[in-house]
Amino acid sequence: MVVNSVRFLLFFIVVFTVYYLPVSKKYPRFQNLWLLLSSYFFYGVADWSMVPLLIGATIVFYGLGLWLKNEMQKQHRKNASRLTTLGVCLGIGLLLYFKYLNFFAESFAELLSAIGFKATWTTLHIVLPIGVSFFTFKLISYIIEVHREHIEPCKDFIEFATYIAFFPTLLSGPIDRPNTFIPQLRRSHSLDYVQAVDGCRQILWGMFTKICIADHLALVTDSIWADYTSQSGSTLLIWTLLYTMQIYTDFDGYSNMAIGVGKILGFNITRNFNHPLLARNIAEFWRNWHISLTSWITDYVFMPLNIAFRNLANWGVMLAVVINIVLIGLWHGANWTFGLFGLYHAMLYVPLVLSGSFGKNKKLRPNDHGLPKWTDLWKMLLNYFLVSLGFIIFHADSIADAFRFFGGILSNSLFSMPSLPLKKATLLFILIVLILEWTTRKKEHPLQLSTDGIFKYTVARYLLYAGIGLMLFLFAGEVETFIYFQF
């Protein structure tokens, strides 16, 4: 049941109606219970067999949080540290078992065979629970934040379970922190018209980027990749640039829809993208791309490592960065391509660390005509190109496939005319997104319209919404699943 489907719309109408019933608004616990049941149903539609896993993990970490707090109140610091370590290990263990067990076992067996030892490994039929990479990070951060005394553990199981299973973000994030989300569950929610309208606008924009751009780009990129060995170098190069736009509009589209649904229900969900196409280097890119993941890894992995390696100066920073970014890559899946993807991005950090510009975040300032300065523009274009090369590795089934693709780009037909079955309207929509990336860079999403121009008139705003709705109707095809559902 994807967010941009009719089934989800019908599901959400029922959720919305019961959630805002007069009797519901008086009791936040009832609203939370309704959200929890709705979330389990939503997850069950994806895979009912995995609902017990989600509930079981929630029960374990709920009890662990209360136990941890009890040990801390008794000043049993060693016991508290052991419980925190246990919680982190349990969360990582879930990921290792469901996502990586077969991969590492098969890789180890191949290594033994390569050096002359006979090794057999029967692949286990382990089903990857959808959303496991997202809700396990919620579980881990909850235990860590309780141990750091940044939050009080939830005494109300329904409250905690709703945070873990909140359906708009359950399958593909964003990954909300307990510090910011759980307090929102402790108050009743009445319909906030302004917030709800903004949520609807954000959903509309997310649907536009997903349906009118990402889904149509998928038709092109999928067909080229399926036969990339026979494509010209110019076609493969264009694929490289288009796939980055596809994955951005796909995942940003989902994030906008999830955040918009949350707003309608009265919740402020973590922002996941902040105009990453305007990034001038790889550090800026990762600060603004998949923000909820990168900030999570930065806070819980990079910062402790950076402190541990502080005596190594720049070498320590680089080592922490490499570990950090490689982990971000491997988070995406059990394949060496994701590790190489992370390593490639980590290497792009090296010049920043050596030059002393790592960690600096200079604001973008337009020139006298309101356009990007040339010095910023060429850095944006170069960074986009470098990031796009990395997504070849990300998309490939194997490292060998990735290198064959790179080799195809450098073929003798690099400067031939590319063959792309791409609709002109899709190119127009991409251009619109690129323009809006710059012109709305200070806004959360492009449909947060200014009230001092033409859009101060109600009729102008509604004509814009109707125009986007018409584009959705004209360009909607078969509902395509979101790329990040597989992670």
Q: Which residues are catalytic?
A: 332
Return the amino acid letter for 83.
Answer: L
* Euclidean distance between CA atoms 181 and 59, whole angstroms: 19
- By the 10 Å C-beta count (0-12 exposed, 13-18 middle, 19+ buried), 284 is classed as buried
Q: Which of 212, 126, 168, 198 is nearest to 444 (CA)?
A: 198
Instruction: Please calculate the CA angle 3-135-482 and round it to the nearest 5 degrees.
Output: 30
* Euclidean distance between CA atoms 372 and 374, whole angstroms: 6
* Euclidean distance between CA atoms 206 and 481, whole angstroms: 14
How many Cα atoms occupy the beta-carbon half-sphere of 304 within 13 Å?
A: 7
Helix extents (H) in 209-302: 215-226, 233-264, 282-288, 291-297
Q: Which of 248, 334, 338, 328 is nearest to 283 (CA)?
A: 328
Q: How far is CA 292 from CA 8, 132, 297, 413, in A?
A: 24, 15, 9, 41
Question: What are 53's two structure tokens?
Answer: 């896993």
* Euclidean distance between CA atoms 229 and 400, whole angstroms: 12
Helix (H, G, I), strand (E, B) or coil at 372: strand
Helix (H) or strand (E) holding 206: helix 193-207
Q: Which of 375, 318, 388, 303 is nearest to 352 (CA)?
A: 318
Q: Is there a contact between 228 and 408 (Cβ–Cβ < 8 Å)?
A: yes
* Euclidean distance between CA atoms 398 and 136, whole angstroms: 26
In this structure, what is the dihedral angle of CA atoms 142, 148, 150, 153, given to the nearest 10 degrees? 50
Q: Is there a contact between 475 and 249 (Cβ–Cβ < 8 Å)?
A: no
Instruction: Please calculate the CA angle 449-455-456 and round it to the nearest 5 degrees.
Output: 105
* Euclidean distance between CA atoms 373 and 315, whole angstroms: 33
Contacts for 142 with CB less than 8 Å, ≥ 6 apart = 61, 65, 151, 160, 163, 178
* Euclidean distance between CA atoms 283 and 386, whole angstroms: 12
Helix (H) or strand (E) holding 1: none
How many Cα atoms occupy the beta-carbon half-sphere of 46 within 13 Å?
A: 25
